[in-house]
Structure 1
Amino acid sequence: MPFKVDLHIHTNKSDGALSPIQIVNKALKHNISVISITDHDTVEAFPEAVEYGKKLGIEVIPGIETSSSINSQEIHLLSYFFDINNKSVADFLAHFTIERKQRARKILTELQNLNVNINIDDVREFSGNSPITRPHIAQAMVKKKYVSSFGDAFYKFIGDNGPANVKKTFLPVDIVTQIFHSAGGLVFLAHPVNIKEDDIITLFGQGIDGLETIHPMLSPSRSKVLKSIAEKHSLPESGGSDFHGGEKGDESNFGKYYISQKKLNYIKNFL
């Protein structure tokens, strides 16, 4: 039985469907030995997950997924092994908590202008105390019958090109990497489906430590290309299922996309 390491998982502390404890239980069920919960712009799930993981023999690595951009193209970054109590990280997360709230309210205003009357309380029913994300808004839209499905909400209204979407604001890559490096972490470029090799090399110069080479969005041929780039530059590789659960319909990905213990140990050599 292979030693499975999934370094890309989301919980209900951001836009996932399951709690941190449910995720750890799921890892045990799928024979995954090491996980990282990489919620968007929050580390709220980590303390609960790491303590519960110890009881079940599951190692839980500090992780987070954040956004930045290169050449006006949005990219996602995965940071690992950082001190979640580091002041620079805390300030960074506080900034994006405010930004997410502002963005959510703007999206709701745009929806109301389109006669989709969803308010913040409707969305809080799904987000709880976690930062509001577009999936939470989509769930509220489905419940109030403005759309027939989660995907319909994105396609018609709040997807990247939708009439009610509000673009994110980003910090530059070099600032993000500096913050997580100062907290003892490593930063990886997440699921680089369409990013050119020259741009990847540029990102290395801005502090990116490695590449995510295993991911449901990456075809076998693309994964092979990314692995070749990582090997050529002696860089570590991360990978995982990017599991969200619920409306995402990605149940089959959990336990299917993972890296080996050897690749995890290579990552740790860079700490």
Structure 2
Amino acid sequence: MYKKGDFHIHSTASDGEFNPEEIIKISKERKVDIISITDHNTTKSIEEAIYYGEKYKIKVIPGVEISTRYKGSKVHILGYFRSDMYKKNSFKRYLKLIKNHNIKKLKNSLKGIININIGSNRLSTVSGIKLLKLFDALVVLAHPVSIDKKYVDEIMKLDFDGIEAKHYRNKLEDTEYFINKAIENNMFYTAGSDFHNTNPKDLKHGIIGDVFLNSEEI
């Protein structure tokens, strides 16, 4: 049984400062035994992280964080893959299009498969959820505490499987609120430090294990 899990971690593949091996070593030092690498719009670090995770006996769940928009408001969504569908070249191509804000080309590429909604050439939250589910991911609303308050309740009613109820930026009452929301909506909840670096001046992101699920929650 796993004892301590942090499911929101960024590597050098996106905007993190540590490579997968360094992330695994930090996780080991901080007694975190299950993690997910969730880089922005890329899965490049996953295989290396899994390799070092096996070496140091840390479970690595393949993940990704995708940037979307809901009524013009920024919404990040996390995908946790249940199979190796994330390895598909088509998925990597789609992520690159999202990263480059080429949503019109993404829409054309997925024509007849899923309907992609466009807003200011950004991927809509609904379309992002559909895309991740197409590639066998469980989809989680990332750091809801950061979402525009006038939209957060309606966003949580979209087709999410879970909510990142525990996040580094939360106050205690935020965590309690989002855990209750997850339970009310029959969703699971996750925890994430949103690790990018070890800079103490970075108040937006924690260090691996600052925020975590315990063994009972996992």
Q: TM-score, normalising length from structure 1?
A: 0.65
The aligned counterpart of 1:190 is: 142
1:95 matched to 2:47: no
The aligned counterpart of 1:19 is: 19
Q: What is the deviation of 1:196?
A: 7.1
Where do residues 85-164 of structure 1 align in structure 2 (5 Å cutoff)?
Answer: 85-99=87-101
Q: What is the letter of the counterpart of residue 263 of structure 1?
A: E
Q: What is the deviation of 1:235?
A: 0.6
Report the identity percentage. Answer: 29
Where do residues 204-215 of structure 1 align in structure 2 (5 Å cutoff)?
Answer: 204-215=156-167
Q: Of the two, which has the highest radius of gyration?
A: 1
The 1:41/1:248 distance shift into structure 2, 3 A limit, reads farther
Higher helix share: 1
- Quote the RMSD (CA, aligned, Å): 2.5
Other structure's SS at 1:25 match: helix
Q: What is the deviation of 1:70?
A: 1.7
The aligned counterpart of 1:254 is: 208
Q: What is the deviation of 1:59?
A: 0.4
Q: What is the letter of the counterpart of residue 176 of structure 2?
A: K
The aligned counterpart of 2:50 is: 50
The 1:65/1:230 distance shift into structure 2, 3 A limit, reads same
The aligned counterpart of 2:40 is: 40
The 1:252/1:174 distance shift into structure 2, 3 A limit, reads closer
Q: What is the deviation of 1:261?
A: 3.3
Question: For residues 94-121 of structure 1, what are the alpha-carbon distances to aligned partners after superposition, in whole Å with 9 as ceiling and x for unaligned?
Answer: 2034349xxxxxxxxxxxxxxxxxxxxx
Q: What is the deviation of 1:177?
A: 1.1
- Asked if structure 1 preserves the Cα contact closer than 8 Å seen for 2:197 and 2:207, the reply is no
Distance 1:89 1:40 in 2: 14
The 1:207/1:86 distance shift into structure 2, 3 A limit, reads farther
Q: What is the deviation of 1:169?
A: 4.5
Distance 2:170 2:28 in 1: 25
Distance 2:159 2:73 in 1: 18
Distance 2:157 2:198 in 1: 38
- Asked if structure 2 preserves the Cα contact closer than 8 Å seen for 1:76 and 1:190, the reply is yes
Distance 1:203 1:235 in 2: 14
Unaligned runs of 5+ in 1: 101-167, 265-271
Give the count of matched residue pairs.
196
Distance 1:224 1:6 in 2: 18
Distance 1:10 1:215 in 2: 14
For structure 1, which segment, 66-75 or 223-232, has the greater mean C-alpha deviation from structure 2 after superposition? 66-75
- Asked if structure 2 preserves the Cα contact closer than 8 Å seen for 1:35 and 1:61, the reply is yes
Higher strand share: 2
For structure 1, which segment, 249-258 or 57-66, has the greater mean C-alpha deviation from structure 2 after superposition? 249-258
Other structure's SS at 1:13 match: coil
- Asked if structure 2 preserves the Cα contact closer than 8 Å seen for 1:16 and 1:246, the reply is no
Unaligned runs of 5+ in 2: 103-119
Distance 1:97 1:196 in 2: 22
